[in-house]
Amino acid sequence: MGTETAQLSEIRILLVDDHPVVCEGLRAILGREPGFSVVGEAYSAAEALEKVNRLSPTVVLMDVRMPGVGGLEATRSIKGQSPETRVLVLTVEDSEQMLLQALEAGADGFVVKHSPSQTIVSAVRSVADGSILLSLEMLRDLLGTIREGEVEARPIGDLTDRELEVLGLVAQGFSNRSIAERLKIAEITVKKHVQNLVRKLGARDRTQAAVLGVKHGIVKL
Protein backbone atom coordinates (compact mmCIF):
# COMPACT_ATOMS: atom_id res chain seq x y z
CA MET A 1 0.00 0.00 0.00
CA GLY A 2 2.82 2.41 0.88
CA THR A 3 4.50 1.78 -2.48
CA GLU A 4 1.25 2.42 -4.34
CA THR A 5 0.75 5.70 -2.47
CA ALA A 6 4.30 6.80 -3.26
CA GLN A 7 3.78 6.01 -6.95
CA LEU A 8 0.55 7.99 -7.03
CA SER A 9 2.20 11.07 -5.48
CA GLU A 10 5.40 10.81 -7.52
CA ILE A 11 6.23 13.83 -9.66
CA ARG A 12 7.28 12.50 -13.06
CA ILE A 13 9.57 14.91 -14.90
CA LEU A 14 10.51 15.11 -18.58
CA LEU A 15 13.52 17.29 -19.44
CA VAL A 16 13.51 19.02 -22.83
CA ASP A 17 16.65 20.81 -24.01
CA ASP A 18 18.74 20.45 -27.16
CA HIS A 19 21.92 20.46 -25.05
CA PRO A 20 22.48 17.05 -23.39
CA VAL A 21 24.78 18.62 -20.80
CA VAL A 22 21.90 20.82 -19.59
CA CYS A 23 19.66 17.77 -19.24
CA GLU A 24 22.42 15.99 -17.34
CA GLY A 25 22.73 18.90 -14.93
CA LEU A 26 18.98 19.10 -14.36
CA ARG A 27 18.78 15.34 -13.86
CA ALA A 28 21.51 15.57 -11.22
CA ILE A 29 19.61 18.34 -9.40
CA LEU A 30 16.14 16.85 -9.61
CA GLY A 31 16.94 13.16 -9.46
CA ARG A 32 18.03 13.33 -5.83
CA GLU A 33 14.86 15.04 -4.61
CA PRO A 34 12.34 12.91 -2.66
CA GLY A 35 9.19 12.31 -4.69
CA PHE A 36 10.84 13.29 -7.97
CA SER A 37 11.41 10.87 -10.84
CA VAL A 38 13.12 12.06 -14.03
CA VAL A 39 11.41 9.74 -16.50
CA GLY A 40 13.15 10.91 -19.66
CA GLU A 41 14.98 13.48 -21.72
CA ALA A 42 14.14 14.94 -25.11
CA TYR A 43 16.42 16.96 -27.35
CA SER A 44 13.84 18.27 -29.84
CA ALA A 45 10.19 19.28 -29.95
CA ALA A 46 9.21 16.15 -31.89
CA GLU A 47 10.93 13.90 -29.37
CA ALA A 48 9.27 15.81 -26.52
CA LEU A 49 5.79 15.23 -27.96
CA GLU A 50 6.48 11.54 -28.46
CA LYS A 51 7.75 11.13 -24.91
CA VAL A 52 4.87 13.06 -23.38
CA ASN A 53 2.53 10.56 -25.01
CA ARG A 54 4.58 7.55 -23.99
CA LEU A 55 5.82 8.53 -20.53
CA SER A 56 2.92 10.65 -19.19
CA PRO A 57 5.08 13.10 -17.21
CA THR A 58 3.57 15.29 -14.51
CA VAL A 59 5.85 18.22 -15.39
CA VAL A 60 7.80 19.05 -18.55
CA LEU A 61 10.81 21.34 -18.13
CA MET A 62 10.92 23.04 -21.51
CA ASP A 63 13.84 25.03 -22.91
CA VAL A 64 12.53 28.01 -24.87
CA ARG A 65 15.25 28.24 -27.48
CA MET A 66 15.76 25.08 -29.51
CA PRO A 67 16.64 24.74 -33.20
CA GLY A 68 13.80 24.01 -35.59
CA VAL A 69 10.50 23.92 -33.71
CA GLY A 70 11.15 25.98 -30.58
CA GLY A 71 10.10 25.43 -27.01
CA LEU A 72 7.07 27.71 -27.17
CA GLU A 73 5.57 25.90 -30.14
CA ALA A 74 6.36 22.59 -28.45
CA THR A 75 4.58 23.84 -25.32
CA ARG A 76 1.53 24.76 -27.38
CA SER A 77 1.48 21.30 -28.97
CA ILE A 78 1.89 19.52 -25.63
CA LYS A 79 -0.95 21.52 -24.08
CA GLY A 80 -3.09 20.76 -27.11
CA GLN A 81 -2.70 17.01 -26.85
CA SER A 82 -2.23 16.68 -23.06
CA PRO A 83 -3.78 19.66 -21.20
CA GLU A 84 -3.20 18.07 -17.80
CA THR A 85 0.57 17.98 -18.33
CA ARG A 86 2.22 20.91 -16.56
CA VAL A 87 4.87 22.81 -18.54
CA LEU A 88 7.57 24.79 -16.76
CA VAL A 89 9.45 26.98 -19.21
CA LEU A 90 13.20 27.40 -18.79
CA THR A 91 14.34 30.85 -19.85
CA VAL A 92 17.65 32.66 -20.09
CA GLU A 93 15.93 35.91 -19.16
CA ASP A 94 12.41 36.81 -18.10
CA SER A 95 11.66 39.60 -20.57
CA GLU A 96 8.03 40.71 -20.68
CA GLN A 97 7.60 39.80 -24.36
CA MET A 98 8.97 36.30 -23.87
CA LEU A 99 6.77 35.75 -20.82
CA LEU A 100 3.71 36.87 -22.75
CA GLN A 101 4.54 34.51 -25.61
CA ALA A 102 5.03 31.62 -23.21
CA LEU A 103 1.77 32.47 -21.47
CA GLU A 104 -0.05 32.46 -24.78
CA ALA A 105 1.51 29.08 -25.58
CA GLY A 106 0.02 27.63 -22.39
CA ALA A 107 3.02 27.52 -20.06
CA ASP A 108 2.20 27.00 -16.38
CA GLY A 109 5.30 28.65 -14.99
CA PHE A 110 8.67 30.22 -15.68
CA VAL A 111 12.09 29.76 -14.16
CA VAL A 112 15.40 31.29 -15.20
CA LYS A 113 17.73 28.60 -16.48
CA HIS A 114 20.66 29.44 -14.24
CA SER A 115 18.64 29.81 -11.04
CA PRO A 116 19.90 28.20 -7.82
CA SER A 117 19.13 24.49 -7.61
CA GLN A 118 16.56 24.94 -4.85
CA THR A 119 14.68 27.52 -6.90
CA ILE A 120 14.29 25.03 -9.73
CA VAL A 121 13.23 22.28 -7.31
CA SER A 122 10.62 24.56 -5.71
CA ALA A 123 9.37 25.62 -9.13
CA VAL A 124 8.79 22.02 -10.18
CA ARG A 125 6.94 21.23 -6.94
CA SER A 126 4.75 24.33 -7.24
CA VAL A 127 3.78 23.69 -10.84
CA ALA A 128 3.13 19.99 -10.15
CA ASP A 129 0.83 21.00 -7.30
CA GLY A 130 -1.28 23.05 -9.69
CA SER A 131 0.04 26.48 -8.76
CA ILE A 132 0.77 29.11 -11.39
CA LEU A 133 4.42 29.99 -11.10
CA LEU A 134 3.94 33.61 -12.05
CA SER A 135 4.61 36.33 -9.51
CA LEU A 136 2.42 39.41 -9.18
CA GLU A 137 5.38 41.43 -10.44
CA MET A 138 5.47 39.28 -13.59
CA LEU A 139 1.71 39.75 -14.03
CA ARG A 140 2.10 43.51 -13.71
CA ASP A 141 4.87 43.55 -16.31
CA LEU A 142 2.88 41.32 -18.63
CA LEU A 143 -0.14 43.59 -18.44
CA GLY A 144 2.02 46.42 -19.69
CA THR A 145 2.68 44.46 -22.89
CA ILE A 146 -0.89 43.31 -23.55
CA ARG A 147 -2.42 45.45 -26.25
CA GLU A 148 -6.02 46.57 -25.98
CA GLY A 149 -8.23 43.82 -27.35
CA GLU A 150 -5.45 41.22 -27.44
CA VAL A 151 -7.13 39.18 -24.74
CA GLU A 152 -10.88 39.03 -25.23
CA ALA A 153 -12.89 38.73 -22.04
CA ARG A 154 -16.52 38.79 -21.00
CA PRO A 155 -17.59 41.31 -18.34
CA ILE A 156 -16.21 40.50 -14.92
CA GLY A 157 -19.75 40.84 -13.55
CA ASP A 158 -20.59 37.45 -15.07
CA LEU A 159 -18.70 35.79 -12.22
CA THR A 160 -20.34 34.87 -8.93
CA ASP A 161 -18.93 36.17 -5.65
CA ARG A 162 -17.35 32.77 -4.96
CA GLU A 163 -15.83 32.62 -8.45
CA LEU A 164 -14.37 36.10 -7.96
CA GLU A 165 -12.89 34.95 -4.66
CA VAL A 166 -11.40 31.85 -6.27
CA LEU A 167 -10.03 33.86 -9.20
CA GLY A 168 -8.27 36.22 -6.83
CA LEU A 169 -6.52 33.26 -5.20
CA VAL A 170 -5.70 31.67 -8.56
CA ALA A 171 -4.08 34.93 -9.65
CA GLN A 172 -1.95 34.85 -6.50
CA GLY A 173 -0.63 31.43 -7.52
CA PHE A 174 -2.56 29.18 -5.13
CA SER A 175 -3.23 25.60 -6.22
CA ASN A 176 -6.73 24.11 -6.08
CA ARG A 177 -5.78 22.25 -2.91
CA SER A 178 -4.52 25.40 -1.21
CA ILE A 179 -7.62 27.33 -2.25
CA ALA A 180 -9.83 24.56 -0.85
CA GLU A 181 -8.00 24.74 2.47
CA ARG A 182 -8.27 28.53 2.67
CA LEU A 183 -11.97 28.61 1.77
CA LYS A 184 -12.81 25.42 3.68
CA ILE A 185 -14.50 23.79 0.71
CA ALA A 186 -13.85 20.57 -1.21
CA GLU A 187 -11.03 20.56 -3.77
CA ILE A 188 -13.43 19.22 -6.42
CA THR A 189 -15.64 22.26 -5.76
CA VAL A 190 -12.68 24.56 -6.34
CA LYS A 191 -11.93 22.75 -9.59
CA LYS A 192 -15.50 23.33 -10.74
CA HIS A 193 -15.30 27.03 -9.85
CA VAL A 194 -12.06 27.35 -11.82
CA GLN A 195 -13.58 25.63 -14.84
CA ASN A 196 -16.59 27.94 -14.69
CA LEU A 197 -14.62 31.16 -14.34
CA VAL A 198 -12.22 30.21 -17.13
CA ARG A 199 -15.21 29.56 -19.40
CA LYS A 200 -17.03 32.76 -18.41
CA LEU A 201 -13.95 34.91 -18.97
CA GLY A 202 -13.32 33.33 -22.35
CA ALA A 203 -9.84 32.41 -21.13
CA ARG A 204 -7.89 29.42 -22.37
CA ASP A 205 -6.73 28.28 -18.95
CA ARG A 206 -6.22 29.35 -15.34
CA THR A 207 -3.01 31.22 -16.18
CA GLN A 208 -4.73 33.45 -18.72
CA ALA A 209 -7.61 33.85 -16.27
CA ALA A 210 -5.08 35.05 -13.68
CA VAL A 211 -3.88 37.78 -16.04
CA LEU A 212 -7.46 38.85 -16.60
CA GLY A 213 -8.00 38.88 -12.84
CA VAL A 214 -5.21 41.42 -12.45
CA LYS A 215 -6.37 43.39 -15.48
CA HIS A 216 -9.85 43.75 -13.95
CA GLY A 217 -8.48 44.78 -10.55
CA ILE A 218 -9.42 41.62 -8.63
CA VAL A 219 -5.80 41.27 -7.56
CA LYS A 220 -4.22 44.52 -6.42
CA LEU A 221 -0.59 45.06 -7.42
157 pLDDT more than 80: no
pTM exceeds 0.85 for this model: no
For 153, other C-beta atoms within 10 Å of its C-beta total 16
- Predicted confidence at residue 142, as pLDDT, reads 61
- The CATH class for the domain spanning 2-133 reads alpha beta
- Predicted confidence at residue 137, as pLDDT, reads 57
Q: Letter for the amino acid at 96?
A: E
Tell me the three state secondary structure of residue 92: coil
109 pLDDT more than 60: yes
- Taken in order 68, 120, 85, 83, the sign of the CA dihedral is negative
Q: How far apart are CA 23 and CA 61, in angstroms?
A: 10
Per-domain residue ranges for the chain?
A: 2-133, 154-215
CATH for 154-215 is 1.10.10.10
